[in-house]
Amino acid sequence: MHEQMFDEDDPLLARVRKIALSYPGSDERISHGRPWFFTKTGFAVYGGSVKGDHSVHQQHPAAVLVKADPNERHAWLEDSRFFVPAYFGPSGWVGLDLDGDTDWQLVRELIETSFRLTAPKRLVRELDD
């Protein structure tokens, strides 16, 4: 069992949650101490880390992790707000640090792209309808 790694009253989490749960068939569960948003599989996670020296992880507690469009991933990673998250990075995911200056339209677009890449086709069709 992992300890909870987020504050339920976090306003950034509330915004991510509102966006993620607006997609058809989406739900939330806590896994490895973090909120995961999923349909059949995960499409967004709140909070993450980067593996550092000597297997020590640098935490990014106020971040959203998403599966990136393979054609855009390299460009996102050139932006200093983005990082390659531990465990997820090899599967094409990116992390975006969130703060008071976050571009929430960008967050919505990233989450939607991740949803489209991971959700069953019927849910993507439902979104498009």
126 closest CA partner among 17, 15, 24: 24
pLDDT of 11 higher than 70:
yes
Does the residue 128 lie in any domain?
Answer: no
pLDDT of residue 6: 78
Average the pLDDT over 46-52 and give the result: 85
What's the pTM? 0.93
Residue with tokens 């990233």: 110
Q: What number of CA atoms fall less than 13 Å from residue 13's CA on the CB side?
A: 19
**What is the per-residue DSSP string for 29-43?**
EEETTEEEEESSSEE
Does the residue 116 lie in any domain?
Answer: yes
The range of the structural domain enclosing residue 93 comes to 11-120
pLDDT band at 4 (very low <50, low <70, confident <90, very high): confident
pLDDT of residue 10: 93
Where residue 25 sits, what CATH number does that domain have?
A: 3.90.1150.30
pLDDT tens-digit readout, 92-112: 999 999 998 999 999 999 999
Q: What are phi and psi of 111, to 5 degrees?
A: -65, -40
Contact 48, 34 (CB under 8 A): yes
- Give me the number of domains the chain comprises: 1
- Range picked from 14-23, 26-35, 82-91 for highest mean pLDDT: 14-23
